[in-house]
Amino acid sequence: MSVLRKDPVSNGWVILAEERRAWQSDFILQPVVRQPGDNCPFCGGRESETPPEITAFRPPGSLPDTPGWSVRTIPNKYAALHIEGSLDRRGEGMFDQMNGIGAHEIIVEMPEHDGHMAYYSRHKMEEVLAMYIARYRDLLNDPRMRYIQIFRNYGTGAGASLDHPHSQLIALPITPRWVKEELMSALNYYRLKERCLFCDIVAQETRDRRRVVFENDGFVSIEPFASKFPFETWLFPKEHLHDFSMTSEDQLDDLAQALQRTLLAISQCLNDPPLNFIIHSAPRLADYDLRRVPDVTIEQDYHWHIEIFPRVTRIAGFEWGTGFYINPLSPEKAAEELRRAFDAYSSQILRAGPSAAKPSPPQQGLTE
Amino acid sequence: MSVLRKDPVSNGWVILAEERRAWQSDFILQPVVRQPGDNCPFCGGRESETPPEITAFRPPGSLPDTPGWSVRTIPNKYAALHIEGSLDRRGEGMFDQMNGIGAHEIIVEMPEHDGHMAYYSRHKMEEVLAMYIARYRDLLNDPRMRYIQIFRNYGTGAGASLDHPHSQLIALPITPRWVKEELMSALNYYRLKERCLFCDIVAQETRDRRRVVFENDGFVSIEPFASKFPFETWLFPKEHLHDFSMTSEDQLDDLAQALQRTLLAISQCLNDPPLNFIIHSAPRLADYDLRRVPDVTIEQDYHWHIEIFPRVTRIAGFEWGTGFYINPLSPEKAAEELRRAFDAYSSQILRAGPSAAKPSPPQQGLTE
């Protein structure tokens, strides 16, 4: 008997249909194939081949658009949105449109072409997260921007067009609809319970354990109760915080570890699949723009988190046509598989050192 | 300059970013590759290889599960939902679940393996639509079912696992979340205007013409103003009607023509792409279950339609993670391309007869 489960964040239902067939046959386990960096414009030394940099972490005295940087942010050459201009909201008969004002930036995570985020050192991961935060905070100053979305596409199967390790940032003059749904769910839950929905999820999951993938002092990653896709994974700060960019330096260390370990578990378990992750953080203007409720603020009821989607199943179009999903693998089993893969890798590393680990994907050792 | 457009049905915004790059390079134009029917359980003569049929259009006196049928409905052997049992709604801590009660049926459209819906005769298309309606009306009698979704996956790239021409029906004990959004949009619009949102879209589009793909007396297909994907196409009855299964016999003829012609335009324009379509019809209980408004009924404000999604771009995961879409092709250009492909095909057929048309995909002539 399959079951229907409801996601308290989106209020969408999913069908867990494990008996449908042996789960392996529903899956596409194609590891990401990476091209060599011969003509890669993101590689160190080719700074002149990209648009001029917005900012970079580089040694004191080093000039923009020269080598020596460790993380570098540039405008997306093929940007979907542009920073110059006014919004110019206007109608077209009954329809609404506005200019494509916004920001579309590329965060190049390292000068080297072959890095793999799941195997970053903790220091490298902290640097990348620090750049996320720096760009996020800078764009928060632009009053036209309502929502900032940082995301990462890994592998062509997940929509990446270049293999060089990079993330993307899009700043939007609107709040995406599913973010609005999250905000409304969070508000409704808070009004009912006077507690944060996400804090309650974290509390139940860390007690229950079955869906936990990785946990440290500050963060926990879980397979959500109503996972839309196999191995969908959410990463939460355990302490309530609405805005990703307010993560403290103390917390950054735990976040870097939790994100890297979670990605490592996925990479090991699923043979380096393509994946996407998206940081869900509070929109800047949500409290008075969207909800107009004087008694609850966005600081109280929203809780930032990261959603990770390994691309291991083919999505039938009706699923993104209706918001109604059939998942052939329970989150409990997915979490068990991920924990087992992580433990197997860790004990291999501990026994014999990084060189004993599987040669592909590129190994940079466990961060510690 | 890209533009942001708002879809009045979902209230989601999309970015039309045509300058992003030459649109062709963003596209995957891979025609559907079909396997021969050597072991196909849906083929005529292999009725014993499927679960026993639910119903079929067959000559008087012919027995179930024997050859001779023209359209045949069977339970999905790998059903995500099952018809027997009670819903048993229950909590798991803060979470909600229920049994996977519902129906999951396969509508086999013809005994022949090689048919292609875009090239069906009008009679064949009417038969298939009549079966949709018959199954829909039968399942409406089950009080556990809130929402019935009929959809079609064409090609493995669109999630089809068998090539034999078939559609699927899922009857659900819940209303999918995007359907709920549509219902709320329709209600809000009706309360503001005292008119149907969809009727207004049809009126504006048929006046404007730029986004119209095909039109006859009863139906019109358009590229929606805020298309999420290139060549996303919606087909509406011009006359207001909330429930697909109440389509009259008179209207069925026009519907068959409009759906076949629209699919033909897509097949010709995009080299027979994989695609999905979904029939959006009013849920059975929506009026008192979901909205509890005494002054507006679902008959007044909802308007059934079909949404068609050719699968010609790769979806970056963040798009279905956030409901925020970047579309590299405007609906105006898409409609122009579709009309041109349709006209080219029609004039070729008119000049030289069906045999002169492109040999692949399988041609069965224009319906007339």
- How many Å lie between the alpha carbon of A68 and the closest alpha carbon of chain B? 30
Q: Does domain B3-356 have CATH number 3.90.920.20?
A: no
Interface confidence (ipTM) of the complex:
0.87
Question: With bands split at pLDDT 50, 70 and 90, how would you rate the model's confidence at A360?
Answer: very low
Nearest by Cα to A270 from A329, A193, A227, A322: A329
The tens place of each residue's pLDDT in chain B, 368 residues long, gives 789 999 999 888 999 988 665 445 567 777 898 888 889 999 999 999 999 999 999 999 999 999 999 999 999 988 889 888 888 999 999 999 999 999 999 999 999 999 999 999 999 999 999 999 999 999 999 888 889 999 999 998 888 888 999 999 999 988 888 888 898 899 999 989 999 999 999 999 999 999 999 999 999 999 999 999 999 999 999 999 999 999 999 999 999 999 999 999 999 999 999 999 999 999 876 544 556 666 788 888 999 999 999 998 877 766 766 778 889 899 999 999 999 999 999 998 878 765 544 444 444 434 33
A176, B200: Cβ pair inside 8 Å?
no
Task: Select the residue of A156, A225, A322 nearest B95 (Cβ to Cβ).
Answer: A225
Q: Which of residues 269-288 of A touch B (CB under 8 A)?
A: 275-276, 278
A3, B149: Cβ pair inside 8 Å?
no
- Would you say residue A323 has pLDDT above 90? no
- By CB atoms closer than 10 A (0-12, 13-18, 19+), residue A260 is buried
Predicted local confidence at residue B365, as pLDDT: 39
- pLDDT (tens digit per residue) in A292-309: 666 788 888 999 999 999
Q: What fold, for A46-82+97-356?
A: HIT family, subunit A (3.30.428)
A13, B156: Cβ pair inside 8 Å?
no
Predicted local confidence at residue A143, as pLDDT: 86
Q: Which of residues 113-152 of B touch A (CB under 8 A)?
A: 149, 151
Distance (Å, rounded) from C-alpha A208 to C-alpha A219? 16
Please say if B166 is a catalytic residue.
Answer: yes
What is the interface size between A and B, counted as CB pairs within 8 Å?
205
CA distances in angstroms from A315 to B156, B277, B320, listed in the order given: 10, 14, 10
Highest mean pLDDT among A19-23, A67-71, B22-26, B33-37: A67-71
Residue A361 preceded by cis peptide, ω within 30: yes
Higher pLDDT, A21 or B88: B88
CA distances in angstroms from B180 to B10, B58, B308, B365, listed in the order given: 9, 37, 19, 39
Distance (Å, rounded) from C-alpha A333 to C-alpha A343? 15
Predicted local confidence at residue A331, as pLDDT: 97
Question: Mean of the pLDDT values across residues A340-362?
Answer: 72
Chain A residues whose beta carbon lies within 8 Å of the beta carbon of residue B98: 3-4
Question: With bands split at pLDDT 50, 70 and 90, how would you rate the model's confidence at A251?
Answer: very high
- How many Å lie between the alpha carbon of A277 and the closest alpha carbon of chain B? 7
Q: What 3-state class would DSSP assign to A212?
A: strand
Is the Cβ–Cβ distance between B97 and B228 less than 8 Å? no
Q: Which of residues 94-113 of B touch A (CB under 8 A)?
A: 94-100
Chain A residues whose beta carbon lies within 8 Å of the beta carbon of residue B96: 5-6, 8
Nearest by Cα to A92 from B226, B278, B238, B366: B226
B5, A96: Cβ pair inside 8 Å?
yes
Helices (H), chain A: 23-26, 122-140, 177-193, 197-208, 249-269, 286, 298-301, 317-322, 331-352
Domain ranges of chain A: 46-82+97-356
Residues written for chain B: 368
Predicted local confidence at residue B363, as pLDDT: 41
pTM: 0.91
User: What one-character-per-residue DSSP string does A129-185 give?
Assistant: HHHHHHHHHHHHT-TT--EEEEEEEESGGGT-S--SSEEEEEEESS--HHHHHHHHH
Say how many C-beta atoms besides its own lie within 10 A of residue A264's C-beta.
24
